[in-house]
Amino acid sequence: MKKIIILILVAIGAGLAWWLGSPLFIDKEVNETIEDIQKMAPPMAAGMESISVTERIGTFVGADDFHKGEGTVSLIKLGDKYFVRFEDDFKVTNGPDLFVYFGRDGEYIKDTNLGVLKGNIGSQNYEVSAEINPNDYNEVWVWCRAFSVPFAKAVLN
């Protein structure tokens, strides 16, 4: 019985170690396009073009020497919908349980979750929920929920 318990604990420990450690040496690249945003947007009224407007742009910086981030992020408006777009040059240290949030004045805002980070490299799009007004925020964050630590932040100008 003692051997079975030890085996179970070792298996759980190995699984946890893999979940925590594997993102550090495994990259996930995403290549979503601006056209993908147009597919996610609601259909426009007859005769209206679906014109996207870049409202604000920012550049990611890492949170510290271990959690590095770089690349461009855009806040795009298409019709009455908003989207956050990480451009082709986006790159962040990979980690477990990473999500995208809005923030304000140096703090991420928990109630603005835009979704799980799709990949730590490359272009990706996030639809902003109708309940979130992006004009209330001036930052985009990559946040690790498992450890409650920031990985990268971009100030939107």
Q: What is the rounded average pLDDT of the residues 108-136?
A: 97
Q: Would you say residue 9 lies in a domain? A: no
What is the pLDDT averaged over residues 82-103? 96
Q: Which domain holds residue 87?
A: 28-155
Does a structural domain hold residue 16? no
Residue 46 above 50 pLDDT? no
14: in domain:
no
Q: Tell me whether residue 146 is in a domain.
A: yes
pLDDT score, position 108: 96
Q: Number of folded domains in the chain?
A: 1
For CA atoms 31, 136, 106, 108, give the dihedral sign. negative
Is the pTM above the cut of 0.95? no
Angle value at C-alpha 16, between 11 and 21, nearest 5 degrees: 125
Q: How far apart are CA 53 and CA 61, in angstroms?
A: 24
- Let me know if residue 41 belongs to a domain: yes
What integer pLDDT is reported at residue 22 of this predicted model? 65
Rg (CA), the chain: 18
- Residue 122 belongs to some domain of the structure: yes
In a domain, 4, yes or no: no
Sequence-distant (6+) residues with CB within 8 A of 52 are 34, 37, 38, 76, 77, 78
pLDDT band at residue 142 under the 50/70/90 scheme: very high
Q: Kindly report the CATH number assigned to the domain that includes residue 85.
A: 2.60.40
pLDDT of amino acid 118? 98
* Selected residue with higher pLDDT from 48 and 28: 28
Q: Which backbone phi and psi does 47 adopt, to 5 degrees?
A: 85, -10
Residue 123 CB neighbours (<10 A): 21
pLDDT confidence tier of residue 49, bands split at 50, 70 and 90:
low
Q: How many Å apart are CA 34 and CA 89, to the nearest integer?
A: 14
Residue 19 lies in a domain: no
Q: What is the pLDDT at residue 16?
A: 76
